[in-house]
Every structure is written in C-alpha cells, then in structure tokens.
Amino acid sequence: ETGVTQTPRHLVMGMTNKKSLKCEQHLGHNAMYWYKQSAKKPLELMFVYSLEERVENNSVPSRFSPECPNSSHLFLHLHTLQPEDSALYLCASSQALPLGTDSPEAFFGQGTRLTVV
C-alpha cells in the first residue's frame, strides 16, 4: 500500500441514505484533511485533523460528519445529502507538526466521486 487510499472511488446515493467515505494514509503523517471539489469551483477545505483532533471545521453543514479514529484513518459520514453535495471528495495527509516542518506538502488520494440523486 502506498500513499493515500480512498474508498469507494465512486458512490451514488439517495438523499435519505447514510454512507461513509474512508481514507487511509500510509505515509506516517500526523494531519489529515477532507477537501471538496465541485465543478467550476476552487477546492474547498472542509475539515482538518491534527494528531487525531479536529482543528478546523470550515462551516460545513452538519450532514457531513468527520471521524478520525487514529492518525492513519479518516472517515466522512454522510446523511440526508442534497444534490448540490455531488462532487469529488478528496482526502489528504501531511506532516503538519512540528510547525514549520521541512516537508509540509500534502499528499492526496484519488478521491471519491459522489453523486446524490
């Protein structure tokens, strides 16, 4: 296993469904992120976890619920989504600590293409 792995790659769900996106990193990083990429919009940061604690929540609706059980795994639980939530959801990890690290670059998974019908 290498890098950052996301499952599933594609997901179609109804507005009343509950599903979860999974992300796993094998890079030994201490921070993990969820980004949303919608058509015609810049990448939006949704959540940041550092040392398994949520340090950022960018006004994301409560129908998105993140979970970080350990430094290698990150989940995004989805429920009662809307069609406008259809997007590519990207997970990333980085060595965010110590601050001012020499290797701050984030590494991304291939994303989950989510379609809400």
Partner 1 sequence: AQKVTQAQTEISVVEKEDVTLDCVYETRDTTYYLFWYKQPPSGELVFLIRRNSFDEQNEISGRYSWNFQKSTSSFNFTITASQVVDSAVYFCALSGYNDYKLSFGAGTTVTVRA
Tell me the C-alpha distance between 75 and 89, whole Å: 11
Task: Give the interface segment with partner 1, choosing from 15-23, 64-72, 76-84, 105-113 (CB under 8 A).
Answer: 105-113
Tell me the C-alpha distance between 77 and 70, whole Å: 16
Q: Is 90 in the site for partner 1 (CB under 8 A)?
A: yes
Site string for partner 1, 44-73 (x = CB under 8 A): -x--x-x----xx-----------------
3-state secondary structure of 90: strand
Q: Is the peptide bond before 104 cis (omega within 30 degrees of 0)?
A: no
Give contact residues for partner 1 (rule: CB under 8 A). Answer: 31, 33, 42-43, 45, 48, 50, 55-56, 88, 90, 92, 94, 96, 99-100, 104-111, 113
